[in-house]
Amino acid sequence: MMRSLHHPVFATGLLLLATLASPAQSAVIKSAPDGFVSESAAVVDVRPARVWRALTNWSKWWDKAHSYSGQAGAIQLDPRGGGLLLERWDKNSVQHAVVLSAVAPSSLRLSGGFGPLQALPVNAILEFSLRGEGSGTRLTMTYRVAGPAANNLDTLAVPVDSVMSEGFSRLLNYAMTGKP
């Protein structure tokens, strides 16, 4: 079963981010019963290729508390068109997303409903954009979710954004320090 969507961001992680990156900005930028858009962005003091390597090594930065298996290494990403973000443990498996496009080191786009969205008839696109900025990288993560208004997706926007923005912070930390 998917673990709780409410997990606080650790103060030490925020302190580390403050010293190594521009402040990460995360927000639900659109919300309605038929969908929402969540966005996180920051500038990190590492080159796009290094951020790309971190991003595509999903199991190293995604929080195991937000997995079905509870195992850090169970989630693997095959970063190529048609590849999967797949969680495997024992004789079980969960397909979290399908890779729509992977253009190293500038963009990664996946299709898949994470957490409670997986059981709903939604279209969900998770996109990462990496752009060189000065000696670093501007990383933007956008999650667009749309579906029938009867699903009241606006009630899921904040909790889903909370988990996704926590993942974004962990990704930034991993890209900069090798630790989530």
Number of domains in the chain: 1
- 158 inside domain: yes
pTM for the predicted model, two decimal places:
0.87
- 22 inside domain: no
CB neighbour list of residue 130: distance below 8 Å, 6 or more residues apart: 48, 51, 52, 55, 105, 106, 107, 137, 138, 139
Structure confidence by residue, pLDDT tens digits, 164-180: 999 999 999 999 999 99
Query: Where in the sequence is the domain holding 49, given as residue range(s)?
Result: 28-177
- 92 inside domain: yes
- 23 inside domain: no
- 134 inside domain: yes
Beta-bridged to residue 149, according to DSSP, are none
The dihedral of CA 114, 93, 50, 14: what is its sign? positive
The CATH number of whichever domain residue 69 belongs to comes to 3.30.530.20
Which runs of E-coded beta strand occur in 45-78? 75-77
- 100 inside domain: yes
Distance CA 78, CA 110 (A): 11
Going residue by residue through the chain, which has 180 residues, state the pLDDT in tens, using 9 for 90 and above.
Answer: 433 343 333 333 333 333 345 678 999 999 999 999 999 999 999 999 999 999 999 999 999 999 999 998 999 999 999 999 999 999 999 999 999 999 999 999 999 999 999 999 999 999 999 999 999 999 999 999 999 999 999 999 999 999 999 999 999 999 999 999
- 6 inside domain: no
- 123 inside domain: yes
For residue 24, what pLDDT is reported? 81
